[in-house]
Chain A
Amino acid sequence: MRLVSFNDGKKSRLGTVIDEKVYDLRKGYCEFLKNKGNNLAEKIAKVRIPADTVKLIKGGDKAYQALKEGSDFIEKNQSNFNGHDLEKVELEAPIMPKIIICGGANFDDHLEETKRSKPTEVEFFLKAPNCVIGPKKAVEYESRVTEKYDYEVELGIVIKKEGRFIPEEEAFDYIFGYTIVNDISARSRQVIPWGESNFQLRFGEGKNYDTGCPLGPWIVTTDELNDVSSLDLKTWVSGELRQNNNTKNLIWKVPQLVSYYSQFMTLQPGFVIASGTPGGPALGSDTELGADPYERDDGVKRGAYMKSGDQMKLHIDGIGELENPIE
């Protein structure tokens, strides 16, 4: 299922996308219950399908079952429901995560272009929930933060249930679904020259500011997207291909990431793990900040940092496309 958060003109609601139309899931579940002769349908549907994705995920198996029943009912009785045109409806970020755990240094081509060697463990830094914006919303171009705004396509892993010290072989049991994270980076704040040839990375300043994390356009739940071991990830900036890689090249794969971060903190429903970006961000062409912009043979153009008015389009197979302007 493609789970969206949308605004129906009055309120935020959870919806599902079927044939390019967005349907209100609470309504779907309510009708499903009514159809079974349940007199408490509205009250129950309001509890089972809240407006907030984290609350829904916390509802566990029962809430998830309601979600499925609602969605299936809509699918079978599509003509009885009022679908909103996907192109016209206002989509919000499909989840306001409690925290975004970011894995850096997770693709060889990104390490190579920034002349970094592979660390012994995946990087571990945080992006604050108040960075998150939804599809189509503008990332602010704010020169007081940086003039080196960069894009990063990443597979976002949405955590389903609480767990600590999760073994790799159980990791998939803890995943609710997947989304696209654009880990916007302020490179002049992130990469600070140190001495003659070294750089300090600052993940506080470099990764955290208002509108710094477009997320969406939806969460694809694991019943629809189960195998994430070979998904293409791509970024276009104003039509130009800038990133092009595949999740099969992740140095630390999805189960390893879930397991690693759970060593430090109890993962909770609604945490999002961003699994790291491949080569191709503008940083990879920034020799001032230590890059080695080697020529690529996969159609990826080396390019400069974004300017106000650019359009970002991020693609991940099996999920879709997340588009945001910067202005």
Chain B
Amino acid sequence: MKYGTFKFNGKERIGALKDNCLVDVQRAYALYLKEEEGDGQADEMARAIISNDFLEFLESGKEAWEAARTGFEYVKDSPKDKLGINEEFIFYNLEDVKILKPYQPKTIMCAGPELEDPENNDMHDYIEFYLKSSHTIIDPGEEIYYEGDHTGRIDFEPELALVIGEKGRFLEEDEILDHVFGYTILTDVYSLDKLQVGWEGTMFHVRYGEGESFDNSAPIGPWVVTKDEIENPENLKLKKYINDELVVESNTSDLLRSVKEFASYCSTFFTMKPEILISTGNPDGVVFGTDDEGIPVIKDMRANKVQLKPGDKVRCEIENIGKIENPVIDYREVK
């Protein structure tokens, strides 16, 4: 199933995609309970089991997820004008609603840059993780900010993000997918100029704070695709478009630290749970390497270097997951 959060008449609901419609899974389940099970408390039960808030829905566990699937399967082949038990809509045309970010996780764990020369880089045999503040998350279609000299050159990468369903810590690679609910797309917007190495005498760090956590730098969505639809998350095409032109195509199979390996690594630190979103990186982003004198630097070795400017439209596509599009605007003109 492809879940999304949408807004209609000022109210947010969870929908599941069917052709060009979203099925309100809570209302579908209420109808199922009434018609199929003769439940006299169908409305109240459906509301109790399926929240209209997707994070709560994730936290509600298998009972809620199975109810949503049952409701969806029950109505999905009905005529689109089918109404619910209170004569409310069940089907919503995509063009009649506003698609929002699928949910608001509280923490985003992101894979750091790939390494310039992994074979000859024995001190850095793994990819680090960094945090992106969850308040930087925006909806599909919402504006990414270009801020002139302030953030400097901005760029973005499509990343496969894991939506966690079930709790767990110290998870092995072969059990991590048991804890995944599904997948979404994170457009990782960053500043090429700020995401640099900062030195303090003998110690250095990559400046993820400055380079990665600025307003509106994390569009996510539009769908959370349940894991049963994705045969192998470690073999999905990632496509980056600017103004409808393909800039680069890569594949999750090329990640130095594989999807499962990175997620397993993340679970060393935090108990995996729905409030955590894991973004697995992109094999074609900037890399962590060294300059001619052996000094650590963030390097841009990409063949196709494109600089975003106001008016651009960015799009990330991931095979079988979908696509997310966001315009770039000049922040100084809106604030």
Q: Which residues of A contact B (CB under 8 A)?
A: 98-99, 101, 105, 111, 114-119, 121, 123-130, 144-145, 164, 191-195, 197-205, 208-210, 263-266, 268, 290
Known: A125-B209, A200-B296. 13 other contacts (CB 8 A): A99-B134, A105-B200, A115-B201, A116-B202, A119-B198, A126-B131, A127-B131, A164-B335, A199-B202, A203-B130, A204-B109, A265-B215, A266-B215
Known: A130-B106, A264-B209, A265-B136. A118 touches B200 (CB 8 A): yes
Closest B residue, CB atoms, query A202: B128
- Indicate if the CB atoms of A144 and B128 lie closer than 8 Å: no
B151, B208, B214: the one within 8 Å of A203 (CB): B208
Known: A99-B135, A129-B107, A210-B169. A124 touches B123 (CB 8 A): no
Closest B residue, CB atoms, query A268: B135
CA distance A43 to B135 in the complex (A): 31
B266 to chain A, nearest CB (A): 9
- Indicate if the CB atoms of A204 and B204 lie closer than 8 Å: no
Known: A124-B210, A125-B209, A264-B213. A208 touches B131 (CB 8 A): yes
B252 to chain A, nearest CB (A): 20
B226 to chain A, nearest CB (A): 24
Q: List 20 A-B contacts (CB under 8 A).
A: A99-B133, A99-B134, A115-B202, A115-B203, A117-B201, A124-B209, A124-B210, A124-B213, A125-B131, A125-B205, A126-B133, A126-B208, A126-B209, A128-B107, A128-B131, A128-B270, A191-B203, A200-B204, A200-B205, A209-B269
Of A145, A164, A209, A264, the most chain B CB neighbours within 10 A belong to A264
Counting CB contacts under 8 A, is B199 at the interface? Answer: yes
Chain A hits for B106, CB < 8 A: 98, 128-130
Closest B residue, CB atoms, query A131: B270
CA distance A191 to B200 in the complex (A): 13
Counting CB contacts under 8 A, is B150 at the interface? Answer: yes
Counting CB contacts under 8 A, is B320 at the interface? Answer: no
- Which residues of chain B (259-273) have a CB below 8 Å from chain A? 268-271, 273
- Indicate if the CB atoms of A194 and B131 lie closer than 8 Å: no
CA distance A99 to B136 in the complex (A): 11
Counting CB contacts under 8 A, is B112 at the interface? Answer: yes
Chain A hits for B124, CB < 8 A: 192, 200
CA distance A101 to B132 in the complex (A): 11
Q: Which 9 interchain pairs have the tightest Cβ spacing? A: A124-B209, A117-B201, A201-B205, A116-B200, A128-B107, A209-B269, A204-B129, A126-B131, A204-B130
Chain A hits for B205, CB < 8 A: 123, 125, 200-203
Chain A hits for B133, CB < 8 A: 98-99, 101, 126, 265
B123, B128, B215, B268: the one within 8 Å of A194 (CB): B123
Of B112, B132, B203, the most chain A CB neighbours within 10 A belong to B203
Closest B residue, CB atoms, query A209: B269
- Which residues of chain B (182-236) have a CB below 8 Å from chain A? 198-205, 207-210, 213-215
Counting CB contacts under 8 A, is B275 at the interface? Answer: yes
- Indicate if the CB atoms of A204 and B208 lie closer than 8 Å: yes
- Indicate if the CB atoms of B203 and A201 lie closer than 8 Å: yes
Chain B hits for A290, CB < 8 A: 202-203
A-B contact count (CB 8 A): 134
- Which residues of chain B (71-92) have a CB below 8 Å from chain A? none
- Indicate if the CB atoms of A116 and B131 lie closer than 8 Å: no
CA distance A127 to B215 in the complex (A): 17
Counting CB contacts under 8 A, is B170 at the interface? Answer: yes
Counting CB contacts under 8 A, is B255 at the interface? Answer: no
A19 to chain B, nearest CB (A): 36
- Indicate if the CB atoms of A130 and B270 lie closer than 8 Å: yes
Counting CB contacts under 8 A, is B138 at the interface? Answer: no
- Indicate if the CB atoms of A124 and B270 lie closer than 8 Å: no
Known: A263-B150, A265-B214. A204 touches B202 (CB 8 A): no
CA distance A164 to B150 in the complex (A): 13
Closest B residue, CB atoms, query A126: B131
Of B109, B131, B132, B134, the most chain A CB neighbours within 10 A belong to B131
A292 to chain B, nearest CB (A): 10
Chain A hits for B134, CB < 8 A: 98-99
- Indicate if the CB atoms of B129 and A265 lie closer than 8 Å: no
Counting CB contacts under 8 A, is B31 at the interface? Answer: no
A115, A119, A200, A204: the one within 8 Å of B131 (CB): A204
A109 to chain B, nearest CB (A): 14
Known: A125-B209, A192-B123, A265-B133. A201 touches B204 (CB 8 A): yes
Counting CB contacts under 8 A, is B276 at the interface? Answer: yes
Counting CB contacts under 8 A, is B40 at the interface? Answer: no
- Indicate if the CB atoms of B213 and A205 lie closer than 8 Å: no
A173 to chain B, nearest CB (A): 19
Chain B hits for A195, CB < 8 A: 123, 294
Chain A hits for B204, CB < 8 A: 194, 198-201
- Indicate if the CB atoms of A116 and B201 lie closer than 8 Å: yes
- Indicate if the CB atoms of B294 and A124 lie closer than 8 Å: no
Of A98, A121, A265, the most chain B CB neighbours within 10 A belong to A265
Chain B hits for A164, CB < 8 A: 215, 335
Closest B residue, CB atoms, query A289: B203
- Indicate if the CB atoms of B170 and A144 lie closer than 8 Å: yes
Chain A hits for B200, CB < 8 A: 105, 111, 116-119
Known: A130-B270, A205-B128. A98 touches B135 (CB 8 A): yes
CA distance A192 to B208 in the complex (A): 17
Chain A hits for B131, CB < 8 A: 125-128, 204, 208
